[in-house]
Amino acid sequence: MLVDDEENVIQVIINKIDWESLGFSVQGYAHNGLEALEMAEESQPDVVMTDIKMPYMDGLELARRLKQQYPTIKIIIFSGFDEFEYAKEAIRLEAEEYILKPIDSTELSEVFKRIKTSLDKEFNEKQNINMLKKYYQESLPILQENFYTALIEGREDEETLSRDMMDYQVSLDGPFYDVVLLHNSTSLAPEGINPLLITMSVRKLWEEHMREKWEAKFFSYLGNVVIIVQMKSESDVRELTDECQVLCRLSKHISKATITAGVGKPVSNIMGLPKSYSGAREAISYRVIYGRGQAINIAEIAPEGNKNSDSIKTESTDEKLYAVFKAIKMDSEENLDAEIDKYMAEEAPVNPSIQDYRFFVMDLVTEIYRFMKSNHIDASSIFDKDADPYDKVQHLELFELTGWFKKTTHEIREVLRANRTDTTKGFVSKAIDYVRENYGNKDLTVESICSYLVISSAYFSTVFKKETGKTFINYLTDIRMEKAVRMLLEDNEKTYVIAEAVGYSDPNYFSYVFKKKFGVSPSRYKTQQNG
């Protein structure tokens, strides 16, 4: 990506270099640092080549922000200023090159050849089979892996916990703990690369970013990567979820992997980790609703159901009926009906006595009641308040019982969907109200509104766009422009007054955004409307 406020400079660079032969393509260009930051979030370029002197945000500040958000990005700084302080700052920011204008195409081509070699080497290192195998053996001794597995399975004895941690050299001081589960969608993986190697590449990436800050423990379990993190307070789970969201995007960019991160509910005791793991596992299953390749926090998507360790499965629910209950929450009506047909074909008694048939029916109704209770569904919303489902159902023939089972689960499914929709619409509505009341605050950001809503920006961004059809930034910009137009036409205010009133500290940047939105400057727009 190229960044320069002079259009002719950008066009010269684009046209004078044979990018394809160098192994690069120009994904886009921006005319200032703020615009470049927005574009980088969408396209995530491997290399950014930026000028220093630009309006709104200079190239050095842009480089600093890019390195914070995308640590692997390569920065090339070019400038017409041959000053030592600029060069020194470029070195501090770990820029690949500091090039003086006018730019020589041969010199620039050599720079990109070196960077291409460096990028290829980094990629090959992450994919190298021998390196990954060696890293795996050295970083996760089998005794530690077995210990972590025992913790999340609930097999660890509290009496021997301290001794085991000492024996296996494990430090878990808390005071709060959470489990993050990483699921790799192998069906979306690139062809020709072993999925196991992709998973290990992802694991190394996440370890590099999370091990120190979260004192994270990584291990493999049932084909997934499991992370036990330690937090200072329970509220840190929002920051954890947002960081997982960033790493999901980074996994896609670097390892070509579609990673869904399920975040469980925090616990204050190590022995509570099985519940946190169960919540993370359930969060992963919601990827069919909220989409793959992102972080999903169970406490945000199922705040009520999460009061149980698993709101789908109870202790007495067998695996076949568990598939039905999971379909109620996750699948279409057609898939739900298919699971019910399968269950009835395999589990319904053949040529039973009246007593055996009644016992089967009573067990089925009991399990349905238990599922509704665990998901906080009022039975009277499904069954008639004064009716006895046991009495009604036990007289049905098998095909009628199947029909009743389908009808009942369809109604439960709709209640769950309505509750979920009400929850998401509720906080989106609060967010919209907050924006309309605070659009004039220049510090209004995704982070600040998520702090107000007490929700992670990862979940907020996903649901806000789903409900409104716009990203939060685009929605906020539209509201600000709407208010700006009204002040421009009705109040006859000066541009700098309007800019400050709608949340822009820089009048020039306000004019830039206004022109980008309407195609003309504020003053020109006013003339056209009044003309």
pLDDT at position 301 is 82
Q: What is the largest CA-CA distance in the chain?
A: 95
Residue 319 has pLDDT above 80, yes or no: no
Of residues 356 and 178, the one with the higher pLDDT is: 178
Residue 48 has pLDDT above 80, yes or no: yes
Integer Cα distance of 254 and 203 in angstroms: 12
Integer Cα distance of 319 and 483 in angstroms: 56
Q: Which of 281, 194, 205 is nearest to 248 (CA)?
A: 205
List, in sequence order, every beta strand (DSSP E) within 32-166: 47-51, 74-79, 97-100
Lowest-confidence pick of 169-173, 273-277, 292-296, 306-310: 306-310
Lowest-confidence pick of 50-59, 255-264, 309-318: 309-318
For the segment 161-207, what is each residue's pLDDT rounded down to a tens digit?
999 888 888 899 989 999 999 999 888 777 777 878 888 899 999 99
Q: Which residue has the tokens 């924006």?
A: 435
CA atoms within 13 A on the CB side of 141: 7
What percent of the chain clears pLDDT 90, i.e. is strictly above it?
46
Residue 57 has pLDDT above 70, yes or no: yes
- What count of residues does the chain have? 531
Lowest-confidence pick of 129-143, 170-184, 309-323, 325-339: 309-323
Kindly list the strands in the beta sheet with 259-263, ordered across the sheet, starting from the edge strand earlier in the chain.
Answer: 217-221, 224-231, 176-184, 259-263, 295-297
Q: Which of 283, 221, 278 is nearest to 459 (CA)?
A: 283
pLDDT at position 129 is 65
Contact in structure between 412 and 328 (CB atoms under 8 Å): yes
Residue 398 has pLDDT above 90, yes or no: no
Of residues 176 and 494, the one with the higher pLDDT is: 176
| Residues 283-311, mean pLDDT to the nearest whole number | 73
pLDDT, mean over the chain: 87
Integer Cα distance of 225 and 243 in angstroms: 16
Residue 336, class by beta-carbon neighbours within 10 Å (0-12 exposed, 13-18 middle, 19+ buried)? buried
Lowest-confidence pick of 98-107, 302-311, 461-470: 302-311
Which residues, 6 or more positions from 206, have their beta carbon under 8 angstroms from its beta carbon?
Answer: 182, 218, 225, 227, 247, 251
Q: Which residue has the tokens 């390749």?
A: 293
Model pTM?
Answer: 0.54
pLDDT at position 250 is 94
351: confidence class by pLDDT, cuts 50, 70, 90? confident
- Angle of helix 319-330 relative to helix 333-347, nearest 10 degrees, comes to 170
530: confidence class by pLDDT, cuts 50, 70, 90? confident
* 113 token code pair: 């050849």
For the segment 143-170, what is each residue's pLDDT rounded down to a tens digit?
888 999 999 999 999 889 999 888 888 8
402: confidence class by pLDDT, cuts 50, 70, 90? very high
Evaluate the omega torsion of the peptide bond into residue 175 and state whether it is cis, within 30 degrees of 0: yes
